[in-house]
Amino acid sequence: MAPIIEVQNLNVWFGKSRILKNLSFDIEPKQVTAFIGPSNCGKTTVIRSLNRLNDLQADYRHTGEILFNGKELYSNKNRASEIARKISMVFEKPILFKKSIYENVAYSVRIRGRRQMSLINNIVDECLMKVQLWNDVKDKLHTDPNFLSIGQQQQLCIARALAADPEILIFDEPCAQLDATETPKFESILQSLKQQVTIIFVTNKRRQAARVSDVAGFLYNGELVEIGKTEQIFTTPTDTRTENYVTGRLG
């Protein structure tokens, strides 16, 4: 299968600081790709470049090529709102609308232009099931999501993203706010979703990347030191910096 994202010689600047240095990599469809590396190495900047969230940042500039399904992601033909729907981002802290659980998810169905109530209801139910939240909320769909735990709120954010029918789901440190009991559930959701959607996530939890990803890329100081099959990166890395990081000697 052709890569869903192709990045060639990506350099990113914020003002005069060069943050990313000559990154080249492909993202394969229906796989889980993890970017790992210590704080401030550029993980968030990479994934924000992949869904044009950096457009909002006045001093952002990049050179190089980012293709999404073979077409220039930053072409003027792509509307940022459409990109945000197809390449959806779930943040570290769950950010929900001040609306009911149902409305949080139904919103994403409506922005796809679907208006039929029975269809919206079906998609809402289905997305809540896919994120393993259905049993917890099925009797409370029309209440405010405030009573949910942080982990459940994160599940609801994922359901809302799925309801927009994205091609890629991107997660930035998705478990940073979760407690130890919520993390395994998140990891199982991630695994089950990859049949439907391409997943990219960023983490500074090495073992989580080792457990969940198919492909792992190690970033250090704005450089993509190495990217490859997760097993290879964690067992036989080619670069000593990668080896030092995955074994815990670095970062």
Ligand X SMILES: Nc1ncnc2c1ncn2[C@@H]1O[C@H](COP(=O)(O)OP(=O)(O)O)[C@@H](O)[C@H]1O
217 near ligand X, rule: CB under 6 A: no
Structure tokens at 199: 């997943």
18 near ligand X, rule: CB under 6 A: no
Residue spans of alpha helices (H) in the chain: 43-50, 80-86, 101-110, 117-130, 134-137, 150-163, 182-193, 206-212, 230-235, 240-246
Q: Which of 5, 43, 109, 145 binds ligand X (CB under 6 A)?
A: 43
Q: Which of 9, 24, 57, 236 binds ligand X (CB under 6 A)?
A: 57
Are the CB atoms for 160 and 108 separated by under 8 Å?
yes
40 near ligand X, rule: CB under 6 A: yes
Compare residues 59 and 231 and give the one whose CB is closer to ligand X.
Answer: 59
Cα dist from 198 to 33, 35, 87, 126, 191, whole Å: 8, 14, 9, 18, 11
Phi then psi for 123, rounded to 5 degrees? -70, -40
What is the contact mask toward Mg ion in residues 7 to 46, using x (rule: CB under 5 A)? ------------------------------------xx--
Q: How many residues contact ligand X, by CB under 6 A?
A: 12
Compare residues 164 and 216 and give the one whose CB is closer to ligand X.
Answer: 216
Neighbouring C-beta atoms of residue 35, cutoff 10 Å? 27
Reduced to 3 states (helix: H, G, I; strand: E, B; else coil), residue 45 is helix
What is the contact mask toward ligand X in residues 141 to 160, using x (rule: CB under 6 A)? --------------------
Residues that bind Mg ion (CB under 5 A): 43-44
Residues that bind ligand X (CB under 6 A): 14, 17, 19, 37, 39-45, 57
